[in-house]
Amino acid sequence: MALHILTICYLIASVTFILGLKMLSHPESARRGNLVAAAGMTIGIFGTIFLFEQEVAGRPAHLNNTVLIFVALTIGAILGFISAKKIKMTAMPEMVSLFNGMGGACAMLISIIEFNHYLHTAIRPVGNLIFLTEELTTVSIIAIVAGLVIGSISFAGSIVAWGKLRGIVGDTTFKGQRNLNMFFLLVLAAAVVTFIIKTPVTSDELSGVSLPGGAVAQSSWAITSFHIYLFYGILALSLLYGVLFVLPIGGADMPVVISLLNSFTGVAAACAGFMYNNQAMLTGGILVGAAGTLLTILMCKAMNRSLLNVIVGSWGETAAAAGATSNEQGAIKEISLSDASMVMSYATKVLIVPGYGLAVAQAQHICHELEKILEEKGVEVKYAIHPVAGRMPGHMNVLLAEADVSYEKLLEMEDANDEFKTTDVVLVLGANDVVNPAAKNDPESPIYGMPILEVQQAKTVIVNKRSMKPGYAGIENDLFFQPKTAMLFGDAKKVLQNLCAEIKAG
């Protein structure tokens, strides 16, 4: 009976994961989707705690200390709740990376624990040969090793990504780094294949071996002490590769990396679900892995770069060459606050382009206030969103949603590009590479071919930046030197506050 109830719990959890993911596709239902998926996860967790031991009656109980389990759940829930409540919007990518890394660590530890469980219950009939006879097939071994490798890479890579986003870890590149990464990857692959291959067992070694339950020794999985050392060698290599994999990747590529590592964690969780025959973990892991992979591909497409180029290359290598001619582009034109407020007040349509500078200044609320002030004067205001703006997928959407900006006002890149031609003023707030015309006009530019927000098609472009410092691609922005572009320097929040005051006074 317990088995059937647990199966129903897993089925309910799986269905809620699918429904929750579907609801996340629209901001109006996203919050509800999170709650639906969380409810399903709760059902799966408590079903496992109270019913899993009965399901495996006759075998060693895995959940034999519910007190410790609930202590861990309580501590984790408290830490997660406090972190989510106190986190600033600018630090959201860091929290996503950190939490994703914890998921990878869980998958890694599950693989280690399960492998050791099988070792402790194995039979050692001849010398250093070990027969793993507890239903440990080659497919199970592959699931254990896959969870170990993918979970370890996700954990180590996510921690490095967290450090880079927090400013603790810098972009570290050195000569031959790509070759070194490829070398470690090949060594890791070779170690995994070696581990999976079954150790041949001769008939002499099997003679006199008595396995419990009348099992046939020839069908058992036999390993040596070498395999045990190799298992932990694979763990070390995976952690090292996870660090080396993310270390050279620049800030402009962080949204893609976070999405990719998120898909890694999903796949690792699916491997754990396979090991435990846990349908909820399997479904959840597959959904996260598939969604993360699809999002990664879409973001690479938005940057006009292949995933391999993001992983093994970076814009920074060509940035110096690209920036060598930047001094010959001409002079910039500045605009005063009063002139900017007047231009925007008398405009018919204004498009706002949010970037990471807006997030850093925590100016999303005052930006929404500016929108409302302009609309009171009869100005149509919308927002143009680039898919890779910010430091994580959907960063700008989440930022503006926090300020209660209507989702209907958020234009995706293709729709925004259609409207720039009829726009009087474009206000660029902290965005850089995603509005650089060099991506369309300069074949020598390292970002050439990357789809951008074509703000230069508007009648007037006002760019708010703290300074002329290049963006994460490391190159000058041709937009800043165009005749229709005016620079409005200063902190985004302070500038927007002053703009609001000027427009109200006018």
Residues 239 and 152: their CA atoms lie apart, in Å, by 5
At 57 the pLDDT is: 40
pLDDT of residue 232: 95
Q: Coil, strand, or helix at residue 400?
A: helix
3-class DSSP assignment, residue 155: helix
Rounded CA-CA distance 324/400 in Å is 36
329-505 — its CATH code? 3.40.50.1220
Q: Which residue has the higher pLDDT, 197 or 496?
A: 496
pLDDT at 384 over 90: yes
Task: With beta carbons less than 8 A apart as the criterion, state whether 441 and 296 touch.
Answer: no
Q: pTM score > 0.85 for this model?
A: no
pLDDT number for residue 129: 65
Residue type, 339: D
Looking from the CA of 6 toward its CB, the CA atoms found within 13 Å total: 20
Tokens of 100: 């994703």
Give residues with Cβ within 8 angstroms of 357, minimum separation 6: 429, 430, 431, 464, 465, 466, 492
List Cβ neighbours of 294 (8 Å cut-off, separation of 6 or more).
none
Cross-strand bridge partners of residue 429: 354, 464
The CA distance from 175 to 44, in Å, is 49
Mean pLDDT of the chain: 82
Is residue 322 pLDDT above 80, yes or no?
no
| Closest C-alpha among 432, 428, 427, 431 to residue 475 | 432
473 vs 45: which has the higher pLDDT? 45
The predicted structure's pLDDT at residue 24: 83
| Residue that the structure tokens 């995933």 belong to | 307
**Residue pair 240/183 in contact by the 8 Å Cβ criterion:** no
Share of the chain above pLDDT 70, in %: 81
pLDDT value for 443: 82
Q: Phi then psi for 352, rounded to 5 degrees?
A: -105, 130
pLDDT 10s digits, 471-482? 655 678 888 988
Name the band, by pLDDT with cuts 50, 70 and 90, for residue 219: very low
Q: How far apart are the first and last CA of the chain?
A: 74
Q: Which of 4, 5, 10 is nearest to 280 (CA)?
A: 10
Q: Does residue 339 surpass a pLDDT of 80?
A: yes
Q: Write out the catalytic residue numbers.
A: 433
Q: Which two tokens stand for residue 322?
A: 């690209």
430 has a pLDDT exceeding 90? no
Query: Which whole-number Å values give the CA distances from 239 to 60, 100, 147, in the listed order?
Result: 31, 15, 13
Residues 6+ apart with CB under 8 A from 29: 23
Helices of type H across 170-278: 177-196, 203-206, 225-246, 254-276
Number of other CB atoms surrounding residue 207 within 10 Å = 10
Q: Look at residue 84 in the predicted model and tell me its pLDDT.
A: 84
Mean pLDDT, residues 44-65:
64
Q: Is the pLDDT of residue 280 over 80?
A: yes
Distance CA 240, CA 111 (A): 18
Of 477, 471, 413, 478, nearest to 253 by C-alpha is: 471
Q: pLDDT at position 60, please? A: 44
Q: What is the H or E stretch that residue 385 is in? A: strand 380-385
Looking at per-residue pLDDT, the higher value among 58 and 108 belongs to: 108
Lowest mean pLDDT among 104-108, 127-131, 340-344, 395-399: 127-131
Cα angle 104, 294, 186 (rounded to 5 degrees) comes to: 55
Q: Could you report the per-residue pLDDT of 285-294, keeping only the tens digit for each?
A: 999 999 888 8
Please tell me the predicted confidence (pLDDT) of residue 251: 61
pLDDT for residue 299:
78
Q: What integer pLDDT is reported at residue 168 of this predicted model?
A: 83
Residue-range domain boundaries for the chain: 1-86, 87-312, 329-505
Instruction: Give the residue-averaged pLDDT of 189-216.
Output: 65
